[in-house]
Amino acid sequence: MTDSLFTPFSLRDTEIPNRVMLSPMCQYSAEEGLANEWHRVHLGTRAVGGAGVVMAEATGVERRGRITPGCLGIWSDEQAEALEPVTSFVRSQGAVPGIQLAHAGRKASHAPPSEGGHALPEDHADGWETISATDEPYPDEEPAATRRMDAGDVEDVIDAFAAAAERSLSAGFEIAEVHAAHGYLLHQFLSPVTNDRDDEYGGSFENRTRLVREVVEAVRGVWPDDKPVFVRISATDWLPDRDSWDVDDSVRLAPLLAEAGADLIDVSGGGIHPDQQLPNAGPGYQVPYAEAIREETDVPVAAVGGITEPTHADALVRNGRADLVALGREMLRHPYWPLEAAHELDVEVEWPVQYRRGRFE
């Protein structure tokens, strides 16, 4: 029987009820990294709406790893406790709660988009020191200084990811996703655009991929054997005119991530530099990257990027192009998209008892 958008999907001993995943979308609504009622409603609503995986936003493994002062954090027990009501409700609706563990590196210490998204220098009241593979700051109009990480910093970051995974487990999450995409810290090590090091973490492909592999190994080491680990990558830097990370590199990386303990690659793109040459962002514009990784490596993948139509999402699974379909902006616009998609695809799914009067006839 051909798998479809509403076929359950098992990774290790975790069964995901369908192939729809809420893509992690920053909410910029936390204070000191603490989740609040906004996060409970935002993530809970998508679980009510029928998503199989509800992935929380990029969540800082260190205070200095947040993108903005309003981003979620998981560097303290208090932050883990604040997330427990979120995961409890998501699970009660039959969805699998996931968390994206993140470190922004040189793209940290920025104002939220609603306030302009500009860099906040270290001496700003809301700013802090940023670290990276390089000492070159992200090229904002007024960039904040960035410090090149030394061996101690690297060790601290690996430890921070592992500790964050342990706290995420105690908070009730069932999937841990390592964020290595969109120009954030782990991507900064992967890409030759930003990695100008000459130590064991720079230069060759093996060295540039070392940190993400060690982080995945550290997360897998504390994550239960019956629960999956995802890794989100940027399959390409979209910088074809310079030495950069590309799809061939991603295909080469995927089995190494699987060796390190990853169960699925969440495939996105770009973010390393503002000069990126974004392709025509039509429906499914990033799907070929996920498909290439799946075809060449047999590692399960999630596809993302301009996917809005149920028939399109269903076809991606039916045709073996992706194992999960991640929706971000579309799920912000339509939190009950999975329920509506099931109706359009003529699939019977369970509705929340409170909403059964709204079922399509």
> Is 184 among the residues known to form the active site?
yes
Identified catalytic residue from 184, 201, 289, 336 = 184
Give the residues across from 22 on adjacent strands: 54, 327
Nearest to 324 by CA among 333, 337, 314: 314
Residue owning tokens 């809420």: 22
Work out whether strand 229-234 and strand 264-268 pair parallel, antiparallel, or are unpaired.
Answer: parallel
Query: Three-class SS of residue 257?
Result: helix
Contact 327, 20 (CB under 8 A): yes
Where helices occur in the chain by DSSP H, the ranges are 37-48, 77-92, 151-170, 185-190, 205-208, 210-222, 247-260, 287-297, 310-318, 329-333, 337-344
Which amino acid is residue 301, in one-letter code? V
Query: Three-class SS of residue 35?
Result: coil
For 59, list phi and psi in degrees, rounded to 5: -120, 120
Query: Three-class SS of residue 343?
Result: helix
The pair of structure tokens assigned to 316 is: 């991606």
* Catalytically annotated residues: 184
